[in-house]
Amino acid sequence: MRAGDRVLLTGTVYTSRDQAHMAIFRLLDAGERTPFEIKDAVIYYAGPTPGHDGMPTGACGPTTSSRMDAFTPRLLDLGLAAMIGKGLRSDDVRDSIVKNGAVYLCAVGGAGALVARSIKEMEEIAFPELGCESVKRLYVEKMPLTVGIDPTGGDIFRQGIEQYKM
């Protein structure tokens, strides 16, 4: 995959935002088991709304990814394969993506209803006290995404900025 490629993701994805990341790090720091195996996992920075009309979830749009930048290098070092979110990432995150051969995928912000159509199953697996920010296991089919940062360091955000600098 290269920055700018469009992909349709099918498989298991875990939701985790700020509060869930903090809870996961408390478990890691205490040497306890995390709610899902980090190695080879995909984390979607999202807080799905409740499902309706027979759908497993309501809107499920991406959260601004930079809010998770402080957590990301450690998770990548533990084997995290990919993250899904929106927006620019820090240099530390980009460097860690390259170091670990991972990928950052972008979902379209403001299109949570579109993403929800790709979600076929949803199960809350940890931290129910966090409400919509609890960790959920999703099974997605053909989730439309764009490669934001690839394993070589290609970065659509920085490429775009460079392209339009005066």
DSSP letters for 106-156: EPPTT-HHHHHTTEEEEEEEE-GGGGGGSEEEEEEEEEEEEEEE-TT--BH
Residue 117 counted as domain residue: yes
Catalytic residue check, 52: no
Q: What is the mean pLDDT of residues 30-37?
A: 97
Q: What is the mean pLDDT of residues 100-129?
A: 91
Annotated catalytic residue: which of 21, 86, 89, 94? 21
**Based on the structure, what is the number of domains in the chain?**
1
Report the CATH number at residue 63. Answer: 3.20.130.10
Residue 1 counted as domain residue: no
pLDDT of residue 149 exceeding 60, the answer is yes
Residue 53 counted as domain residue: yes
Contact 35, 127 (CB under 8 A): yes
Residue 77 counted as domain residue: yes
Q: Which residue has the higher pLDDT, 59 or 119?
A: 119
Distance in Å from the first CA to the final CA of the chain: 29
Q: What is the mean pLDDT of residues 55-75?
A: 93
Contact 100, 145 (CB under 8 A): no
Instruction: Tell me if residue 5 falls in helix, strand or coil.
Output: coil
pLDDT of residue 166 exceeding 60, the answer is no
pLDDT on residue 53: 81
Q: What is the mean pLDDT of residues 111-119?
A: 84
Residue 122 counted as domain residue: yes
Residue 26 counted as domain residue: yes
Residue 21 counted as domain residue: yes
Residue 89 counted as domain residue: yes
Q: What is the mean pLDDT of residues 3-25?
A: 97
Range of the domain at 152: 6-164
pLDDT on residue 16: 97
pLDDT of residue 40 exceeding 60, the answer is yes
